[in-house]
Structure 1
Amino acid sequence: MKADLKKEVPTYTAPRGRFEVVTVAPAQFLMVDGHGDPNTSSAYADALAALYPLAYALKFLSKTELGRDYVVMPLEGLWWSEQMDAFARARDKSRWDWTLLNLVPGWLTAGHVDLARADVARKRGPASLPPVRFERYDEGLSVQTLHVGSYDDEAPVLAAMHAWIADQGMRLLGKHHEIYLSNPRRVAPERLRTILRQPVMRAD
């Protein structure tokens, strides 16, 4: 059986049209950092080119060496800016910082990632891999919703989310998180499904 963690981890689903409070369990990820507009930045394209070969090499290693196959998880991103207005309202993507993530199943270790990294380096050259790191990430208490539509149409949803969080007596904590459930190369912009997540803390 091929494991599909999207169906097993409850926080990989979210309601459309309303906000829900969830507790996100700690998990381990492949991560790549960068800066700039994802539509035009060469750093973003380079990050994807580094992340996905390693993710699939790790899947292949798990299947062949451990006998545990799984579906490679969807792309995720953490997004922020030193000037948060550039992110939340003005949407000036040239000023955004980001970390791309890909979830790694809990049965795999740093040693497995090193083996997969060496395999990719042999096939593609080591220059494609140095930015990718393997790290645990713990968001904890968060608010999330499902956005259906273009990425450029997220701003009103984010504004409503931030207002709702304040109304609930909570405040923003950490970086905005997006989980891309749709492939933008195969799905029309108006049908893209994206989980929007914001870590929070309850007011004292």
Structure 2
Amino acid sequence: MLSTDFKKVHKDLYGARTEPALVDVPPLRFLAVDGAGDPDGPVWRAAVEALYGVSYFARFALKNAGVVEYPVMPLQGLWWVDGGWDITERDRADWRWTMMIMQPPQVTADLVAQGIATTAKKKPSAAVDRLELREYAEGPSAQILHIGPYAAERPTIERLLAYVAEQGRQVCGRHHEIYLSNPSRTAPEKLKTIIRYPVTPPPA
């Protein structure tokens, strides 16, 4: 049986450092749930519950079938507000988001449908009715590793934006966070989060 750690397969995307860098993000497949409002609220929690429920169902189904064994990938979030990507100066109630978890190519639409049905029975509060399997392509992007509380991200974001400007580029997509730490098991000052922005091509 194939055994794969997709964080190592895509180590340039999941091995960000505390210095900003450019990366080229290929099209990848995700389980995703769209929503709006405070990420501490019940709507957000129901979305994340659905993502993990179906992701773990798919993982164990593929492992038990002898197809592939792999760790479930980190939770990720796309964040924006009406009028732009910069959420830091806006009330959390105005935030819009897509929460998502990357999936290996062996995860099919039929397998997702089975996972949705199973998760709906086990976790009635999970937002499986809003879950989709979709492809997301960012292309050229700039990213940086933030270490510390989510609420203290602004200086790290400013460093990343300064780097983007130095490269003669501009942000052209949504604020993207990849959560490498479990906040229920990690002290706030030790949380590791990749912050990424799609950027325009270099000037001609």
Q: Following the alignment from structure 2 to structure 1, what is the Cα–Cα distance between the partners of residues 65 and 176?
A: 32
Aligned residue for 1:59? Answer: 59
Over 3 Å counting, the alpha-carbon distance change for 1:111 and 1:66 in structure 2 is: farther
Over 3 Å counting, the alpha-carbon distance change for 1:93 and 1:60 in structure 2 is: same
Which residue identity is paired with 2:62? Answer: S
Identity %: 40
Instruction: State the SS of the aligned residue for 1:107.
Output: coil
Aligned residue for 1:74? Answer: 74
Q: Identify the range of structure 1 (68-77 vs 118-127) with the bigger mean alpha-carbon deviation.
A: 118-127
Aligned residue for 1:192? Answer: 191
Aligned residue for 1:23? Answer: 24
Q: Following the alignment from structure 1 to structure 2, what is the Cα–Cα distance between the partners of residues 190 and 125?
A: 34
Q: Identify the range of structure 1 (187-196 vs 115-124) with the bigger mean alpha-carbon deviation.
A: 115-124
1:161 positional shift: 1.4
TM-score, with structure 2 as normaliser: 0.90
Instruction: State the SS of the aligned residue for 1:7.
Output: helix
8 A Cα contact 2:53 2:115, kept in partner: no
Asked if residue 87 in structure 1 is aligned to residue 84 in structure 2, the reply is: no
Aligned residue for 1:163? Answer: 162
Q: Following the alignment from structure 1 to structure 2, what is the Cα–Cα distance between the partners of residues 127 and 143?
A: 33
8 A Cα contact 2:147 2:193, kept in partner: yes
Which residue identity is paired with 2:17? Answer: P
Which residue identity is paired with 2:15? Answer: T
TM-score, with structure 1 as normaliser: 0.90
8 A Cα contact 1:86 1:92, kept in partner: no
Aligned residue for 2:15? Answer: 13
Provide Cα deviations, 1:136-184, integer angstroms capped at 9, x if missing partner.
0011100001111010110111122122212211011111111000000
Provide Cα deviations, 1:66-97, integer angstroms capped at 9, x if missing partner.
43121011110001111448614x25322111
8 A Cα contact 1:86 1:96, kept in partner: no
Q: Following the alignment from structure 2 to structure 1, what is the Cα–Cα distance between the partners of residues 31 and 116?
A: 11
Instruction: State the SS of the aligned residue for 1:201.
Output: coil
Q: Following the alignment from structure 1 to structure 2, what is the Cα–Cα distance between the partners of residues 73 and 65?
A: 20
Over 3 Å counting, the alpha-carbon distance change for 1:127 and 1:190 in structure 2 is: closer
Aligned residue for 1:43? Answer: 43
Asked if residue 146 in structure 1 is aligned to residue 145 in structure 2, the reply is: yes
1:9 positional shift: 0.9
Instruction: State the SS of the aligned residue for 2:7.
Output: helix
Q: Identify the range of structure 1 (177-186 vs 49-58) with the bigger mean alpha-carbon deviation.
A: 49-58
Aligned residue for 1:104? Answer: 103
Number of aligned residue pairs: give it: 201
- Unaligned runs of at least 5 residues, structure 2: none
Provide Cα deviations, 1:99-127, integer angstroms capped at 9, x if missing partner.
10101012222222122223323444597
Q: Following the alignment from structure 2 to structure 1, what is the Cα–Cα distance between the partners of residues 125 and 28?
A: 26
Q: Identify the range of structure 1 (134-143 vs 58-67) with the bigger mean alpha-carbon deviation.
A: 58-67
Instruction: State the SS of the aligned residue for 2:93.
Output: helix
